[in-house]
A and B are shown apart, each in its own frame.
Chain A
Amino acid sequence: MKILVCITSVPDTTAKISFTQDNTQFNKTGVQFIIGPYDDYALARAVELKEQHGGSLTVLNVGTSDSDPQIRKALAIGADDAIRIDTEPTDSYFVAAQIAEIAQKNSYDLILMGRESIDFNSGVVHGLVGEMLGIPSYSPVMKLEITDGKAEFAREIDGGKEFLEADLPLVLGCQEPIAEWKIPNMRGIMTARSKPLNVVPATPMDDLTVLKKYTLPAPKGECKMIAAEDAEQLIALLRTEAKVL
């Protein structure tokens, strides 16, 4: 089985977010980058599937060389090789088109990625890749088994779970608890440096979106604690301060 796992390189969940150049650029200074947490779940499940079924596991990132440490980590966790499409990922359509271009050439049985990145959180790349390749795509997938060339998986839906079966090839956007995140072991880290990381140029295309500016959410208000028996004060505050009554 040939598996492709697409990973994003995103700011650590604890990073302090700020912007520069009149709020048009994300300020990367001092920010640590990680593999997108949902992508990390997809990668962890892919490593397990490869252990069960054999085959190959390729990791793909659309990004600049700044993503290389995250790609090396994915190799250390268990990917056999990596492809980096050497470009700044500008929007979801652009990223999906770049992934589809590579996938078209390599006929993967399974293309896994996170349900969404955690920077722009668009959550549509898996669907776009599926459409571009003309194969089914599902998200968010929280359980996945491959049996006799078929995928059996569970998808989260409003108020419950949906259990599905589909033929391969398939594109899936993943989330917990599909697998537990894997910590690369030392042997994996040392062998990662000898695994191929192929850098390929991006396919030229126009951006469909133009980023105008960023804004931060309003700071969280102070939390006032009110004694449970003091409902009157609570109602008064909801009226006068929160102005929701």
Chain B
Amino acid sequence: MTDFFKIDELLSEENLLIRQSVAEFTDKEIKPVIDSYAQRAAFPAYMVKRFGELGILGVTLPEDHGGTGADYIGYGLVCQEIERGDSGMRSTLSVQNSLVIWPIHQFGTEAQKKKYLPKLASGEWLGCFGLTEPDHGSNPAGMQARLTNVNGEYVLNGSKSWISNAPLADVAVVWARNPEGRVQGMILERGMEGFTTPEITNKWSLRASVTGELVFDNVKVPSENLMPQALGVGAALQCLDNARYGIAWGAIGAAIDCYETAVGYSAERIQFEKPIAAFQLTQKKLAEMLTEITKAQLVAWRLGVLKNEGKATTTQISLAKRNNVAMALHVAREARQILGANGIVGEFPIMRHMMNLESVVTYEGTHDIHLLILGAEITGIPAFKG
């Protein structure tokens, strides 16, 4: 494992074992099958249960709710090692951990926690998170989904788009404007009348994960499904902070897989009677890839320490997500060049990672939006508000 600055030595015994165990899982269970699923644009749905058995769906969730009770560095390492296999697989577990289990644990009632958390943590149920709308991506506060009160009953109308896990999800954490005009979080279940989850097809990215829409056509939402503490856009954004944190780690995994593939390939590929690793331009690429991966690892580790201490800020997470995903995308592109024509075939993971990362660089706050979040932090002037 690429660990040039010996990050492993900074890890607790548990976290080191978490990293090694999830790495072993990825090598044994994800890598051998993932190309086939991605080529067919099929989601290996059985993997959700396997994630549950491994205990990586409720990584930071306390044990009394069916979780693992690990810390945030443990969660980051899980994301890194799964994304070494595939960003789509990591997306599936990020959503379940950060965007479904986390908000229900943070904002839900005791009854909601008891009902949903153990089944979500075990992988019996799959969850999704509905915030983004067809016309409101970077500006979720403009959302049009509405929860109205009709004759004493809550009724939900509207739609959500680009929702990971949606077509197969048993449970959806959904955000909509409530009758008071505030953004309100609620839990929807598959089978509620008027609630459908059409799949988005023909993706060139995250092909081994499933993406869709959430459509609400006069969905009656029982009041016990509203999360009383999930009020305001800020509550939804807190969930995103957690997901982005996981992505900052996860992207390193994709980068490592590309880098290690390129190192191996360049040592074996002979041109002009010598391995292409002997050429300075290849060495420059590899050296820069390793440098950038190492920097990203240190950023992620330090962010993890801050997160464990409850001190990580939204802007620190923005910096890490933005930097690390862009880094991974760049590493994937450089690795693709080193592999030449072989870089585009499924026999090697490069092109799949590269196409996946084109989504990762956009979802959970685009590369540019994170830059503007940092800009606002530095100058005190938010450029993305009217």
Residues of A within 8 A of B (CB): 68-69, 72-73, 76, 183-190, 192-193
Interface string of B38-78 (1 = CB under 8 A from A): 00000000000000011110010001000011100010001
Cβ-defined contact, A72 with B55, below 8 A: no
Which of B17, B20, B28, B59 has the largest number of chain A CB atoms within 10 A? B17
Residues of A within 8 A of B63 (CB): 187, 190
- 20 A-B pairs besides A69-B13, A72-B17 with CB distance below 8 A are A68-B13, A69-B17, A72-B13, A73-B20, A76-B21, A183-B24, A183-B54, A185-B53, A186-B18, A186-B21, A186-B54, A186-B74, A186-B78, A187-B63, A187-B68, A190-B14, A190-B63, A190-B68, A190-B70, A193-B13
Residues of A within 8 A of B24 (CB): 183
Cβ-defined contact, B59 with A186, below 8 A: yes
Considering the complex, which residues of chain B in the window 179-205 have a beta carbon less than 8 Å from any beta carbon of chain A?
none
Which of A73, A185, A186, A192 has the largest number of chain B CB atoms within 10 A? A186
Report A65 CB to chain B, min CB distance, Å. Answer: 12
In the bound complex, CA of A193 to CA of B24 (Å): 20
Residues of B within 8 A of A72 (CB): 13, 17
Residues of B within 8 A of A185 (CB): 21, 53-55
Cβ-defined contact, B21 with A192, below 8 A: no
Residues of B within 8 A of A69 (CB): 13, 16-17
Residues of B within 8 A of A187 (CB): 55, 63, 68
Q: Which of B18, B25, B53 contacts A189, CB < 8 Å?
A: B18
Write 26 A-B pairs (CB below 8 A) sorted by A numbering: A68-B13, A73-B20, A76-B17, A183-B54, A184-B17, A185-B21, A185-B53, A185-B54, A186-B18, A186-B54, A186-B55, A186-B56, A186-B59, A186-B70, A187-B55, A187-B63, A189-B14, A189-B18, A189-B21, A190-B63, A190-B69, A190-B70, A192-B14, A192-B17, A193-B13, A193-B14
Report A192 CB to chain B, min CB distance, Å. Answer: 7
Report B311 CB to chain A, min CB distance, Å. Answer: 23
Residues of A within 8 A of B21 (CB): 76, 183-186, 189
Residues of B within 8 A of A76 (CB): 17, 21
Cβ-defined contact, A183 with B25, below 8 A: yes
In the bound complex, CA of A185 to CA of B74 (Å): 13
Which of B20, B56, B74, B78 has the largest number of chain A CB atoms within 10 A? B20
Smallest CB-CB separation from A77: which chain B residue?
B21
Which of B25, B54, B74 has the largest number of chain A CB atoms within 10 A? B54
Residues of A within 8 A of B28 (CB): 183
In the bound complex, CA of A183 to CA of B29 (Å): 11
In the bound complex, CA of A193 to CA of B68 (Å): 13
In the bound complex, CA of A68 to CA of B14 (Å): 12
Residues of B within 8 A of A (CB): 13-14, 16-18, 20-21, 24-25, 28, 53-56, 59, 63, 68-70, 74, 78
Residues of B within 8 A of A73 (CB): 17, 20
Smallest CB-CB separation from B29: which chain A residue?
A183
Smallest CB-CB separation from B52: which chain A residue?
A185
Q: Which 8 A-B pairs give the minimum distances between C-beta atoms? A: A186-B55, A186-B68, A185-B55, A187-B55, A189-B17, A183-B24, A184-B21, A185-B54
In the bound complex, CA of A189 to CA of B69 (Å): 10
Report B287 CB to chain A, min CB distance, Å. Answer: 19
In the bound complex, CA of A190 to CA of B74 (Å): 11
Which of A72, A188, A190, A192 has the largest number of chain B CB atoms within 10 A? A190
In the bound complex, CA of A184 to CA of B17 (Å): 8
In the bound complex, CA of A183 to CA of B18 (Å): 10
In the bound complex, CA of A147 to CA of B20 (Å): 35
Report B225 CB to chain A, min CB distance, Å. Answer: 29
Residues of B within 8 A of A184 (CB): 17, 21
In the bound complex, CA of A95 to CA of B28 (Å): 33
Residues of A within 8 A of B74 (CB): 186
Residues of B within 8 A of A190 (CB): 14, 63, 68-70
Residues of A within 8 A of B20 (CB): 73
Report B97 CB to chain A, min CB distance, Å. Answer: 12
Residues of A within 8 A of B56 (CB): 186
In the bound complex, CA of A237 to CA of B18 (Å): 52
In the bound complex, CA of A68 to CA of B12 (Å): 13
In the bound complex, CA of A61 to CA of B321 (Å): 42
Smallest CB-CB separation from B54: which chain A residue?
A185
Report B247 CB to chain A, min CB distance, Å. Answer: 20
Residues of A within 8 A of B70 (CB): 186, 189-190
Residues of A within 8 A of B59 (CB): 186
Residues of A within 8 A of B78 (CB): 186
Residues of B within 8 A of A68 (CB): 13
In the bound complex, CA of A187 to CA of B64 (Å): 12
In the bound complex, CA of A192 to CA of B55 (Å): 14
Report B191 CB to chain A, min CB distance, Å. Answer: 30
In the bound complex, CA of A190 to CA of B54 (Å): 12
Report A238 CB to chain B, min CB distance, Å. Answer: 26
Report B258 CB to chain A, min CB distance, Å. Answer: 20
Residues of A within 8 A of B16 (CB): 69
In the bound complex, CA of A160 to CA of B28 (Å): 29
Smallest CB-CB separation from B14: which chain A residue?
A189
In the bound complex, CA of A69 to CA of B20 (Å): 11
Report B32 CB to chain A, min CB distance, Å. Answer: 14
In the bound complex, CA of A190 to CA of B4 (Å): 27
Residues of A within 8 A of B54 (CB): 183, 185-186
Residues of A within 8 A of B55 (CB): 185-189
In the bound complex, CA of A184 to CA of B28 (Å): 13
In the bound complex, CA of A186 to CA of B51 (Å): 10
In the bound complex, CA of A192 to CA of B14 (Å): 8
Report B190 CB to chain A, min CB distance, Å. Answer: 27
